[in-house]
Amino acid sequence: MPPLSHRLSEIEDGSDVWCSPTLGRITGKELRSVLSVLDSGVYRGRRVAIGVMPSVELLATLVLLDGVAETIIILPPEEEPEARARRLSGCAVDHLLEDGGVGFVKGLLALRSSVGAEVAGEKTVSLEKAHGTSPLPTAWMLPTSGTTGVSKLIRHTSETLTRGMAGRRSCSDFIWGSLYSFWRFAGLQVFLQSWTSMTTLIVCDEAEGFDRRVEWLASLGCSALSATPSMWRKLAMWPEFNRFALKQITLGGEIADQPVLDMLRRRFPSARITHVYASTEAGVGLSVKDGMAGFPVSFLKEPPGDVRLAVSAEGHLLLRPPSSDGSADREENEWTDSGDVVQVRGDRVMFLGRANGSINVGGDKVMPDEVESVIRELPEVVFVQVRAKRSSIVGNMVEAAVRLGPGAVLTQEMKKKIVAHCRTRLEAFKVPSVVVGLEEITLTSSGKLSRTKL
């Protein structure tokens, strides 16, 4: 695949490539003008680490360095200084870019001034000079979510990251938005989808907070939005959710259960709704567009893409991506265990939760996601968090923290209704022993529901 910068020549001068709440519209002409005068040759064949910087700066840095650098290492933004120092030493980094990155934002502001415009007009250096006659196959090292310990770095290329993405014709009128961090696999997927289809991307900085980013996305006309199911549920509680006119809705990162899919269908009846199963380790495994939770069992024999699927004896979903040459013919030991527990139910394969996230209740394993999905079947419930509560008798009990709709109060009668409903759908050891109110909805840095005790 050609480097990302090769797309620059295809972008029309007046088209909006990125739209930033602080920088406004960034057109194709501005993007080409600024990147053409930046010195990327200094990074050729080098290992470059990327730390914290404005999101627009990050994306411009990735466009400039892909095909130039030997390796791009994206550092987890939340990593402690000592851990980051060890990582930098272990990765043998040649350059560390943070704050101002490669200088795109500074160059853009200069270009927009009268002096900067004159300078940019006098000097136009082709990026192909930095690439040379043969662009390098730049490796992208991306951080995992780190939910089970220290975040690991997983190797990708721009080719593996864009495999299976929709082309320009199917996305031509979209304005993309993301509630993910662009430092994570899911956020980069949104950026690369908008880049490969040459459609506008709204670029908000994660530090601005959830509510502020949602306000910007709505006001800037976002029509294609990607988020976790927990983010979608939180977004649905936003008073002005109906301001969005969405054409494409994408869910990923967590189980997309039937209640959240049905809620989105009711809110946006004409939108295309896609839930994607992907991981930093395996890349995009599958996408489902039929409006149903889980995925068709037929995918196990005839996968919809080039990633093969299977279920292990332990009930874990296994994935086998194609080899680096695009061939799906790989050795059996190259299956990747996703760590997600699944169950075949009729003609669907249903996700139950993470194997390492189960609650041990007297020796029996309870999947919080499964219990949450059942509780969300009640129309009064808009958000639920199932977690472990210590017990001197059985070690752990199941606790459900529940948020009801606007104006509703979690009465004793409602608590009994929740427990009674769970008893009709779940085994006895999975039924919550305690039901409490959920005062604050806490999501992790990757947008997933936090299961720690509040």
Q: Which residues contact 396 (CB under 8 A, 6 or more apart)?
A: 359, 360, 361, 388, 389, 390
pLDDT at 423: 96
Q: Rounded CA gap, 445 and 186, in Å?
A: 12
Give φ, ψ of 165 to 5 degrees.
-75, 150
Sheet holding 200-202, edge to edge: 24-27, 16-20, 200-202, 175-178, 224-227, 248-251, 272-279, 283-288
Q: Rounded CA gap, 90 and 84, in Å?
A: 10
Record the pTM: 0.85
Q: Rounded CA gap, 73 and 449, in Å?
A: 27
Q: Rounded CA gap, 380 and 404, in Å?
A: 6
Residue recorded with tokens 């320009």: 168
Contact criterion met (CB below 8 Å) for 66 and 21:
no
**Total residues found in the chain within this entry:** 454
Q: Report the run of H or E that residue 311 belongs to, with start and end.
A: strand 308-311
CA angle 315, 316, 321 (to 5 degrees): 140
DSSP bridge pairs for 318: 310, 337
Q: Which domains does the chain carry?
A: 4-345 (3.40.50.12780), 358-437 (3.30.300.30)
pLDDT at 120: 44
Tell me the pLDDT of the chain (454 aa) as tens digits: 788 988 888 888 888 999 998 999 999 999 999 998 898 889 999 999 999 999 999 999 999 999 999 999 999 888 888 888 888 888 889 999 999 999 999 999 999 986 554 444 433 445 555 455 578 899 999 887 654 456 788 888 888 888 767 655 555 689 999 888 899 888 999 999 999 888 999 999 888 888 889 999 999 999 999 999 999 998 998 888 889 999 999 999 899 999 999 999 999 999 999 999 877 776 777 889 999 999 999 999 998 877 889 999 999 999 887 765 444 444 544 788 888 999 999 999 999 998 888 999 988 999 999 999 999 999 999 999 999 988 877 778 999 999 998 888 899 999 999 999 999 999 999 999 999 998 888 887 778 887 665 4
pLDDT at 166: 61
